[in-house]
Structures are given as structure tokens and as C-alpha cells.
Amino acid sequence: MPIFDKLRVIGRFERLPECLLAEIADHQSDTFREVTANEIEGLIKQEKDKLTIHQQKAFKMSREEDLSYRDIADDMGVSVNRVNYLICCALKSIRLNLTKYGV
């Protein structure tokens, strides 16, 4: 076997651990992102549960059911301004409480 072929083989084996480590690091970072996303979703759910009943309802209709403020106001029997206020308060509360966790 010519010397250059031997050097290529040795070079491949020397780079193999580096490649494996890089692949493992990528997998770990993906797993970390997944866990972090799940934790953040859990924290948001906890904070949504702390909202008043009216804030929860308005927030759910706005964000999960994708209804307009007018539709939410009609359904809840309140003004559009009241819906705006409820959602603003809900978002402010969630945002404020999530900053305690560094999110």
C-alpha cells in the first residue's frame, strides 16, 4: 500500500471521533431545544391557569380559536374595548411571570 493511501486511511480514522462528537453535539442541542420548548409551554400553561376566568376565555378565543375582538365581544357580551383590555392584561401577566423564569 502506497504511503499516501496509508496516510488517507489514518486521516479518516483520526477525523472519525471529531465527526461523531459533532454529530452527538448536534443531536444533544436538538434534544435540549425540544426539552426547553416543552418546559416553556408548561410554564405558559401554568401562567394561563393563573389568569381570571374572563381573561382566560378572551385569551383562548383570541389565540387558540383565532376569533376577532368583535366576535369575542359578541360572545362574551362585553365591548370590544373590554376584550382588548382583558387580552392586554393577560399578555402582560404572562410576560411578567415568564421573566421570573428567564424566558
What is the rounded distance in angstroms from the CA atom of residue 13 to the CA atom of residue 3?
16
Average pLDDT over residues 7-24: 54
Short-list 92, 10, 94, CA closest to 46: 94
Which of 39-43, 84-88, 93-97, 99-103 ranks highest by mean pLDDT? 84-88
The mean pLDDT value for 77-86 works out to 96
Give the global pTM. Answer: 0.64
Counting residues of the chain whose pLDDT is more than 90, the rounded percentage is 45
Q: How does pLDDT run across 24-58, given as a tens digit for each residue?
A: 566 556 665 666 778 888 888 999 999 999 999 99
